[in-house]
Structure 1
Amino acid sequence: MQVYQAKLVSLNEQAIGTAAHGSAVLVVNGDQLVVTIEMFDTPANQQHWEHFHGFPDGRSAAIATMAQDANHDGFVDLPETEPVSGTTMVPFNDQPEAMDIPNDKYPVADANGHFAYTKIVPLAQLSAEFKKAFNDSELDLDKRVIYIHGVAPELDLPATVAGAVGHYDQHVTLPIAVGKIEAVPLA
């Protein structure tokens, strides 16, 4: 068994008016990956996309900070995270092993901005789909970062905020929290 964790800290809190924070624990146990994510102070009553991001070439990803606001519009949008965090890799939705990222099957925060997500993922299927998507890359969890996304649709975003994916606009993809996945030493 191997345990990984990430402390999820807020990103874009000045611009969105709330400091989303939480934690993630990923446990590799035999042929399963158990993912548990709990978030607080997210934008309330809405769905939040959550994924791990990284580099297919095996480089270690880092979390984005306001230093990544390349166009100085006051927001770190999804494309601005890519130089330090890489690409979106695995979704934490209703079926992570399917690697179907743009959909409406992610957790929804309650009226207090809280949500808890737990999923048991078949590791062999996830690894196979991951290798297909990323040229035989390994999951390498300790080289990845987790992002939580999503702000209220009525939030006024400047035209400079990018990150639309299909018919999902920047409100859906704007990062609100991020954390580096780290291996937990087992005693």
Structure 2
Amino acid sequence: MKIYHASIVPLNAAIIGSAAHGSALFVVNGDQLTVNIEMFDTPANQQHWEHFHGFPDGRPAAIATAAQDTNHDGFVDLPETEPVSGTTMVPFNDTPETMDIPNDAYPVADANGYFAYTKVVPLQQLDAEFKKAFNDSELELDKRVIYIHGVASSLQLPTTVAGEVANYDAHVTLPIAVGKITSVEVH
């Protein structure tokens, strides 16, 4: 068994009006990956996309900070995270193993901005889809970072905030929290 953890810290908190934070636990046991994510103080009553990001070439990903706001608009948007965090890789939605990222199957925060996500993922299927998507790359959780995304559609975003994915605009993809995934123990 392998266990990985991430302490998830706020990103863009001053601008969005909430300091989303929480933790993620990933347990690899045989052919199962159990994912537990618990978040507090996210924008309330809305869906939050959550994924791990990384580099297909195996370089370790780092979390984005305010320093990644390269266009100086006050927001660290999804494209600005890529130089340090890599690309979006695995979604934590209803079916992570299908690697279907743009959809409406992500957790929804309650009125207090809280949500908990638990999913048991068939590791063999996830690994096969991951290798297909990223040229035979390995999952390598300890080289990845987790992002939580999403702000209210009523939040005024400058036109410089990018991150449109499929039919979803930057309100859906704006990062609100991030954490570095680290290896905790191996049995």
TM-score in terms of structure 2 length: 0.99
Question: Could you say what secondary structure the match of 1:94 adopts?
Answer: coil
Give the Cα–Cα distance (whole angstroms) in 2 for the partners of residues 132 and 18 of structure 1: 37
Name the residue aligned to 1:61.
Answer: 61
Name the residue aligned to 1:157.
Answer: 157
Would you say 1:106 and 2:106 are equivalent positions?
Answer: yes
Amino acid across the alignment from 1:120: V
Name the residue aligned to 1:123.
Answer: 123
What's the CA shift for 1:166?
Answer: 1.0
What RMSD in Å do the two structures reach over aligned CA positions?
Answer: 0.7
Question: Could you say what secondary structure the match of 1:185 adopts?
Answer: strand
Give the Cα–Cα distance (whole angstroms) in 2 for the partners of residues 9 and 125 of structure 1: 30
Question: Could you say what secondary structure the match of 1:130 adopts?
Answer: helix
Runs of 4+ in 1 over 2 A off after TM superposition: none
Q: Deviations over 1:76-110 (max 9, x none)?
A: 00000000000000000000000000000000000
Name the residue aligned to 1:94.
Answer: 94
Give the Cα–Cα distance (whole angstroms) in 2 for the partners of residues 140 and 2 of structure 1: 11
Give the Cα–Cα distance (whole angstroms) in 2 for the partners of residues 165 and 117 of structure 1: 23
Question: Could you say what secondary structure the match of 2:128 adopts?
Answer: helix
Would you say 1:37 and 2:37 are equivalent positions?
Answer: yes
Give the Cα–Cα distance (whole angstroms) in 1 for the partners of residues 186 and 14 of structure 2: 37
Name the residue aligned to 1:171.
Answer: 171
Name the residue aligned to 2:143.
Answer: 143
Name the residue aligned to 1:83.
Answer: 83
Q: Deviations over 1:58-83 (max 9, x none)?
A: 00000000000000000000000000
Would you say 1:27 and 2:27 are equivalent positions?
Answer: yes
Amino acid across the alignment from 2:158: P
What's the CA shift for 1:185?
Answer: 2.7
Give the Cα–Cα distance (whole angstroms) in 1 for the partners of residues 77 and 169 of structure 2: 11
TM-score in terms of structure 1 length: 0.99
Name the residue aligned to 1:133.
Answer: 133
